[in-house]
Amino acid sequence: MNTAHARLTLRRLGIEAYKETVVYVRTDSPICTSEGFEARTRVKVTMADRHIIATLNVITSDLLQPGEAGLSEYAWKLLHANVGETISISHILPVTSLGYVRKKIYGKSLKATELNDIVKDITAGYYADVHIAAFLTACAGKRLKQHEIIALTESMIAIGDRIAWPEKLVVDKHCVGGLPGNRTTLIVVPIIAAFGLMIPKTSSRAITSSAGTADTMEVLAPVDLNFAKMQAVVNKEKGCIIWGGSVSLSPADDILIAVERALNLDSSGQLVASILSKKVAAGSNHILIDIPIGSTAKVRDLKEARYLRKILQAVGKKLGVKIRVLFSDGTQPIGNGIGPSLEARDVLKVLENAPSAPKDLRDHSLTLAGMLLEFSPKVRKGCGKKLAAAILKNGQALQKFKDICEAQGGMRTIPKARYTKPYIAKKSGKVIAIDNRYIARVAKLAGAPTSKAAGVDLHVHVGDPVKQAQALFTVHSESEGELEYAFEFLRLGVDVVTIG
């Protein structure tokens, strides 16, 4: 009897453990007896010619019959499993690259080959979450040296697919996050594409925020496009706005980010590797990075912003891509809406040149578009923004946006929330601060981004005078329960809008 290769039949338990691979086995399985039952035992699960590494969880009830095993839904997906198929579970040898992680933890710097092995093993699933957390912590702050950031970025590019475009000049933009409502992408991309520059934009969905750019775009058009479909859209319209996860440009980064957000760590090295690996894999060679600076934004001061700019440009140079960096105001949300539908509404108002369009969103989008246009040899330095404004004003941007939506699968109308409730100022005064993180949390509790129409509609900005009992913002929600969730949080007394 060779229990090491005892076969178990798959039963679908339907347990979602997010991006964690878990295999569930009965307590009387040979694998349990021999591994003992330890913290985070990792085992190899083989099905036909595929295998994954998973954490062992043990079932002490009759959830599984003798001879059966279960998988977390993420593991099920990775293995392309089917009910009734058989798997075998075996031991894994110690993962060599964890030794490099320990080396980094103890303060030594890593060679390119070592970082490459780490990235490979993470992508192959050999790391448990605690190992990923340890790696990220060891790289946190400024602990990655420039040569390490370059090696990490190159490893992350190498492990994924990479797109080649027919045009020589391919531009892209990225915002270093933290600002709710900051949906400039949906305005910038059509301006650039209307001008004729190629901009294959992939964006993220929200992980801990109330909406990612992909969530907002999804209100107006499909964003789950595969490689072939994405290429078709860009070749036809010069631009797209799709969800990066559906093309998996940086599979290692997708795994790292899940743990990174849970830790809420700022790591300039990881950040640069994350941004540039995705952009370079997407085939871009001229990249504009927007860094909003503010005490509740991701980058909190000018010193940190300057350090990031230095690293971004050095790594970009090594990778052969041109990087421009813009420092912008990150002290409060941009636009009025926070949450997919409300943000989409703001975006359309700007594109339609509506008088009620949020001025801050319009102006910031034009600044970014102007800088991107100046990557073109046809546009003189200092003339980009004016050109962008003209393309917006004459309706070309709106038309291009509609064309992109159609090419991605058809433009949609914006849904409206069933329930709304205003949040009232407790005193008169002047708005002195709006907390980006708290306002995003309120929108999230109200149901965003899962409920597209849910979110927060801001009625004031920093500097505005307010009167007691005036509505500071309105919470939008699809259910009374979620509305209550948001207000329960507000009643905890956190300073979402500070009146001085």
Distance, in Å, from the CA atom of 458 to the CA atom of 498, rounded to the nearest integer, reads 13
Burial class (CB in 10 A: 0-12, 13-18, 19+), 340: buried
Distance, in Å, from the CA atom of 417 to the CA atom of 453, rounded to the nearest integer, reads 5
| Binding to a second copy in span 91-120, by CB under 8 A | 91, 93, 98, 102, 105-107
| Closest by CA position to 344, among listed 177, 474, 214, 240 | 214
Nearest-approach distance from CB 385 to a second copy, in angstroms: 36
- 101: phi then psi, degrees, rounded to nearest 5: -60, -45
For residues 56 and 27, the answer to whether their CB atoms sit within 8 Å is no
Question: Per rule CB under 8 A, is residue 482 in the interface with a second copy?
Answer: yes
Residue with tokens 């095993």: 69
Nearest-approach distance from CB 327 to a second copy, in angstroms: 22
One residue of 65, 164, 168, 264 binding a second copy per CB under 8 A = 264
For residues 170 and 283, the answer to whether their CB atoms sit within 8 Å is yes
Binding track, positions 139-158, relative to a second copy; x by CB under 8 A: -xx-----------------
Q: Which is nearer to a second copy, 145 or 393 (CB)?
A: 145
Q: Which is nearer to a second copy, 134 or 219 (CB)?
A: 134
For residues 265 and 258, the answer to whether their CB atoms sit within 8 Å is no
Q: Which residues, other chains included, contact 360 with Cβ-Cβ below 8 Å and sequence gap of 6+?
A: 334, 335, 461
Nearest-approach distance from CB 116 to a second copy, in angstroms: 21
Question: Per rule CB under 8 A, is residue 83 in the interface with a second copy?
Answer: no
Nearest-approach distance from CB 446 to a second copy, in angstroms: 8
Binding track, positions 436-475, relative to a second copy; x by CB under 8 A: --------xxxx-xxx------------------------
How is residue 107 written in tokens? 């303060």
Q: Which is nearer to a second copy, 110 or 138 (CB)?
A: 138
Alpha helices in 97-226 (DSSP H): 97-105, 112-123, 129-138, 146-158, 185-195, 213-220
Burial call 120-147: b when 16+ CB within 10 Å, e when fewer? ebbbebbbbbebbbbbbbbbbeebbeeb
Question: Per rule CB under 8 A, is residue 169 in the interface with a second copy?
Answer: no
Stretch that binds a second copy, among 30-38, 157-165, 314-322, 337-345 (CB under 8 A): 30-38
Q: Which of 266, 403, 457, 495 is catalytic?
A: 266
> Does 301 qualify as catalytic in the annotation?
no
| Binding to a second copy in span 356-415, by CB under 8 A | none
One residue of 82, 96, 208, 498 binding a second copy per CB under 8 A = 208
What is the phi-psi region of residue 385: left when phi exceeds 0, alpha when psi lies from -120 to 50, beta otherwise?
alpha
One residue of 23, 134, 282, 361 binding a second copy per CB under 8 A = 134
Q: Which is nearer to a second copy, 164 or 492 (CB)?
A: 492
Question: Beta-carbon neighbour count of residue 219 at 10 Å?
Answer: 25
- Count interface residues toward a second copy (CB under 8 A): 77
DSSP string for 194-244: HHT-BEEEEEPPPSSSS--HHHHHHHHS-----HHHHHHHHHHHSEEEEEG
Nearest-approach distance from CB 105 to a second copy, in angstroms: 5
Cα dist. 219→65, 203, 302 in Å? 44, 14, 35
Q: Which is nearer to a second copy, 165 or 487 (CB)?
A: 487
One residue of 9, 44, 46, 57 binding a second copy per CB under 8 A = 57
Nearest-approach distance from CB 274 to a second copy, in angstroms: 15
Nearest-approach distance from CB 64 to a second copy, in angstroms: 9
One residue of 10, 59, 351, 397 binding a second copy per CB under 8 A = 59
Q: Which is nearer to a second copy, 101 or 366 (CB)?
A: 101
Active site residues: 266
